[in-house]
Structure 1
Amino acid sequence: MNAHLRISVQFIRVKFEGRMLMMMMSTAIKHDISMKGVAGIVLLLLSWSVGVTSQSNSSRAVFILGDSLVDSGNNNYLATVARADFSPYGIDSPNRRATGRFSNAMNIADLTCEALGVEPVVPYLNPSIGIPSNLLRGANFASAGVGILNDTGLQFGPFILRMPLQFEYFREYQDRVATIIGRSATNELVANAVVSITLGGNDYVNNYYFLPVTVRSVQFPNVADYNNFIVSEYKKILARLYELGARTIVVAAAGPLGCVPAQRALRTLTGECDATLQSVAVLFNTGVRNIVDELNSQYGATIYTFADTFNMTLNIVNNPGAYGFETAQYACCGQGRFNAIGTCTPVSPVCPNRTAFFWWDEYHPTERANRFIVNFFFNGGTSYMYPVNLRTMLKIND
Structure 2
Amino acid sequence: MESYLRKWCLVSVLVLLLGLGFKAKADPQVPCYFIFGDSLVDNGNNNRLISLARADYFPYGIDLGRPTGRFSNGKTTVDEIAALLGFDNYIPAYSSVSGQQIMQGVNYASAAAGIREETGQQLGQRITFSGQVENYKNTVSQVVEILGDENSAADYLSKCIYSVGLGSNDYLNNYFMPNFYSTSRQYTPEQYADDLISRYTNQLNALYNYGARKFALVGVGAIGCSPNALATGSPDGTTCVERINSANRIFNSRLKSMVQQLNNYHPDAKFTYINAYGVFQDIIANPSSYGFSVTNAACCGVGRNQGQLTCLPGESPCPNRDEFVFWDAFHPTDRANTLIAQRSYNAQSSDDVYPIDISTLAQL
TM-score using structure 1 length = 0.81
Residue 298 of structure 1, aligned match among 265, 272, 283: 265
The aligned residue for residue 357 of structure 2 is: 389
The aligned residue for residue 59 of structure 2 is: 88
Residue 225 of structure 1, aligned match among 181, 191, 200: 191
Structure 1: where are the runs of 5+ without partners?
1-53
The aligned residue for residue 234 of structure 1 is: 200
Please tell me the residue identity of whatever aligns with 1:60.
P
RMSD of aligned Cα (Å): 1.5
Would the alpha carbon gap of residues 212 and 269 (structure 1) be closer, same or farther in structure 2, given more than 3 Å must change?
farther
Query: Secondary structure of 1:74's partner?
Result: coil
The aligned residue for residue 162 of structure 1 is: 128
Residue 268 of structure 1, aligned match among 206, 227, 234: 234
Q: Deviations over 1:173-225 (max 9, x none)?
A: 111122222233322221111110010111111001113573212222x2221
Q: Deviations over 1:198-253 (max 9, x none)?
A: 10111111001113573212222x22211221122212222222112111110000
The aligned residue for residue 36 of structure 2 is: 65
Contact residue 382 and residue 389 of structure 1 kept, 8 A = no
Query: Secondary structure of 2:47's partner?
Result: helix
The aligned residue for residue 192 of structure 1 is: 159
Structure 2: where are the runs of 5+ without partners?
1-24
Contact residue 309 and residue 328 of structure 2 kept, 8 A = no
Residue 46 of structure 2, aligned match among 65, 69, 75: 75
Separation in 2, partners of 1:226, 1:318? 28
Residue 177 of structure 2, aligned match among 210, 217, 241: 210
Q: Share of identical aligned residues, percent?
A: 35
Separation in 1, partners of 2:184, 2:250? 16
1:104 maps to 2:67: no
Contact residue 66 and residue 143 of structure 1 kept, 8 A = yes
Contact residue 113 and residue 120 of structure 2 kept, 8 A = yes
Contact residue 335 and residue 349 of structure 1 kept, 8 A = no
Please tell me the residue identity of whatever aligns with 1:140.
N
How far residue 302 of structure 1 moved from its aligned partner, in angstroms, is 5.4
Contact residue 65 and residue 140 of structure 1 kept, 8 A = yes
For this pair of structures, how many residues does the alignment match?
336
Residue 336 of structure 1, aligned match among 303, 320, 323: 303
Q: How does 1:1-398 map to 2 (within 5 A)?
A: 55=26, 57-58=28-29, 60-93=31-64, 96-118=65-87, 119-126=89-96, 129-132=97-100, 134-157=101-124, 159-183=125-149, 184-211=151-178, 214-220=181-187, 222-271=188-237, 272-301=239-268, 303-380=270-347, 381-395=349-363, 397=364
Separation in 2, partners of 1:376, 1:182? 38
Please tell me the residue identity of whatever aligns with 2:148.
G
Please tell me the residue identity of whatever aligns with 1:370.
N
Separation in 2, partners of 1:98, 1:138? 22
How far residue 349 of structure 1 moved from its aligned partner, in angstroms, is 4.3
Separation in 2, partners of 1:121, 1:189? 17
